[in-house]
Amino acid sequence: MKAVILAGSPGTAIFPLANYYSKLSFPVANEPIIYHLLSFLEASHISEVMVVLSGHPSGGGSIGRLFNDDRIEGMKVSVFEEKRPRGTAGCLKEVAGFIGSSPFLVISPNVFTGHLDLSEAFSAHHTQKAAVTVVVEKSNGFKKSLENIEVGKDGRIKRFHILHPSRDQRRILLPAGFYIFNPIVLDHIPDKGYMDIKEQLIPELGHKGFRIYAYELSNPVKKLDSLSDYFQLNRDLLSNGFMGGNHNGSSKSEIMERVWVGKNVRISPKAYLLGPVVIGRNCTIEDYAQIIGPASIGDGTRIGKDVLVRESIIWEKAELSSNSRIEHSLIGEEVVIREDERVKNTIVIQDNRFHQNFNISSSEHGLDGLNHCGTDLFSASYKRWKYGAYLIFKRLFDLFVSFLCLFTFLPIFLIIAVLIKIDSPGPMIFRQKRCGKDGKEFKMYKFRTMVKDAEKLHDEVLGKNILDGPMFKMKRDPRITNVGRFLRKTSLDELPQLFNVLKGEMSLVGPRPLAMEEMKFSPSWRDLRLKVKPGITGQWQVSGRSGTLFDGWIRHDIDYVKNQSTWLDLKLLMKTIIMVFKREGAF
């Protein structure tokens, strides 16, 4: 059996580090997660692994260099970089040549395998002659889940419930992040376009009568869905008996109680270390430095004189200059902390951008912010103020423009309303629940462009969808009225959304407002776009709209949220006006 590891894609809002590094390179107790995974796969008698990267800024570099490490032996590991995101199932089609004709294992990027044993799951998959075996676990009951897997008494999966909360949290079964597939499923993944495993592929296979079973784990798998999860996993692994690593060249010696060090480490006899602490290879710790655990120090790190490191994670090749203080923080790779600098409850990365809009709080560690290397308190405060000022200006601008447009276009509103009423029976305004900022639902308004009860006819035309994501578009949709066709072509049907802007539910510029059901694809995309208000227009809308594939839509939304500014908003508004007059991309 071979294994495919999905390295994930950038844009995960609740785990901002994933925008800069693949999660597989994150060190857990000083070992990158990929090493823990490979150790688990070796124990499962899997010797060939494909790692799929989806558009990371670092590309395959940060992952590829790990495989050149002398710690990887006896395991054939390849890396495939997607040119465009195709979803968790779509990417499997891209590596079909590697998969071959035998059953294969797929692993999600947010799981920590530890000492998990899947041998019984493999055996059950073979015995039941399943096309797909989904490894599941019970919900811990503390977090409310919007997912649930309905399983019959025979273990066969009846239904995947996505974005539908269950009333009884004790009975929830959730995907554990492991899937065993027979290669026949690859024939049901399109050669082009976007497809996710649990949101699209498995339901489609179920409808076609394939045998899809669940295998329930006796113990839950540790997940890395937040910074709190990441810190806690490091704490647990260090505090509960770190064993020094399992890979060739990575073993560490316990030089004092609960203090493990790798090869070629120089520690001054005047330094003070209080475990649990794990120190990587080729590190230097100078006089009077204090390291208080749980703490993890990456390979090649230099800790200067009189430095304090308290309950922190230091990635490789960092330099902590003399008399600096690092407490309850994460220091990224190759970061230099200056002399006398104080870092507390902060993430410092080697990057020239400051992201205030990400929520990276931790109840235990109290993480306050995401800092870039060399940013002092004044600079960080200024950037927070700048982002806050942008939001205030954006809201004032929204109020002014929406009020002005509503007052100016009032006669047009009345004419359109009369034409709609004359053209076909039904209401003049179409109302539908959409998701706003932070997932708060609101009623979005548009001029009605379809016949009455058009939603009931949706299934009849579903097969003619020209898009590959959650949106439905078709040319010459028979449900669209004569007046509606004109309104869509001129985008006049969007005008009532100005009322949503006036109420503060939407903005003039932002990601397209969608219903929660339409955001069941690509959770990282969903979580990120919900950090801002939806907009009447946006980067995706002015980049082709109806002719843009879903992977382009994802990239445009992520790019907007990361780079939002007053200038970008004004630029997108001007492009929108030009597109409306040219009547491009709308039908």
**Phi and psi of 335, rounded to 5°?**
-80, 140
Q: Give the pLDDT score at 457.
A: 60
Using only C-alpha atoms, what is the Rg of the chain? 26
Structure tokens at 272: 């003070």
**Predicted confidence (pLDDT) at residue 261 exceeds the cutoff of 60:** yes
pLDDT tens digits, one per residue of 84-129: 778 889 889 999 999 988 999 999 878 888 778 888 999 999 999 9
Of 265-279, 337-351, 365-379, 451-465, the one with minimum mean pLDDT is 365-379
How do residues 427-473 score in pLDDT, each as one tens digit? 899 998 998 988 888 999 999 988 876 666 655 555 555 555 556 56
Count the residues in the chain. 587
* Joined tokens for residue 199: 């949101």
For residues 279 and 241, which has the higher predicted lDDT (pLDDT)? Answer: 279
pLDDT grade for 358, boundaries at 50, 70 and 90: very low
Residue 246 has pLDDT above 50, yes or no: no
Rounded mean pLDDT, 168-175: 67
pTM strictly above 0.85: no
Instruction: Give whichever of 136-150, 427-441, 550-564 has the largest mean pLDDT.
Output: 427-441
- Nearest partner of 302 among 291, 310, 294, judged by Cα: 291
> Within 13 A of 232's CA, how many CA atoms are on the CB side?
13
pLDDT at site 295? 93
Q: pLDDT confidence of 284, banded at 50, 70, 90?
A: very high
Q: Which two tokens stand for residue 209?
A: 């009568």
Q: What would the mean pLDDT of 61-78 be, rounded to a whole number?
A: 64
Whether the per-residue pLDDT at 13 is higher than 80: the answer is: no
* Residues in a beta bridge with 302: 284, 319
Give the HSE-up count for residue 33: Cα atoms under 13 Å, Cβ half-sphere: 25
Measuring CA to CA, how many Å separate 527 from each of 44, 358, 388, 519?
33, 10, 21, 9
Which pLDDT value is given to residue 290?
A: 95
Query: What is the rounded distance in angstroms from the CA atom of residue 190 to the CA atom of residue 395?
Result: 43
Which is more confidently placed, 554 or 341?
Answer: 341
For residue 474, the tally of other CB atoms under 10 A from its CB is 17
Q: Give the Å distances, CA to CA, from 22 to 8, 16, 174.
A: 7, 11, 24
Neighbours of 47 (CB within 10 A): 15
pLDDT at 182: 94
Domains of the chain plus CATH, in order, are 2-223 (3.90.550.10), 235-375 (2.160.10), 386-582 (no CATH)
For range 518-527, the mean pLDDT: 72
pLDDT bucket at 81, cuts 50 / 70 / 90: confident
Q: What pLDDT does residue 39 have?
A: 84
Cβ neighbourhood burial of 531 (10 Å; 0-12, 13-18, 19+): middle
Q: How far apart are alpha carbons 327 and 346 in whole angstroms?
A: 8
Q: Does the pLDDT value for residue 479 go beyond 90? A: no
Residues of the chain above pLDDT 90, percent: 29
CA angle 465, 468, 470 (to 5 degrees): 85
Q: Does residue 345 or residue 429 have the better pLDDT?
A: 429
Number of H helices, E strands in the chain: 15, 35
Considering only CA atoms, which of 54, 57, 88, 53 is closest in space to residue 67? Answer: 53
Residue 33, pLDDT > 60, answer: yes
Name the band, by pLDDT with cuts 50, 70 and 90, for residue 248. Answer: very low
pLDDT over threshold 50, residue 247? no
Q: How far is CA 357 from the centre of its chain?
A: 15
Q: What is the mean pLDDT of residues 351-373?
A: 41
Give pLDDT, residue 181. 95
Mean pLDDT of the chain: 80
- 214: number of Cβ within 10 Å: 23
Q: pLDDT-based confidence at 73, cuts 50/70/90? A: low
Q: Which residue has the higher pLDDT, 157 or 14?
A: 157
> Residue 374's pLDDT is what?
44
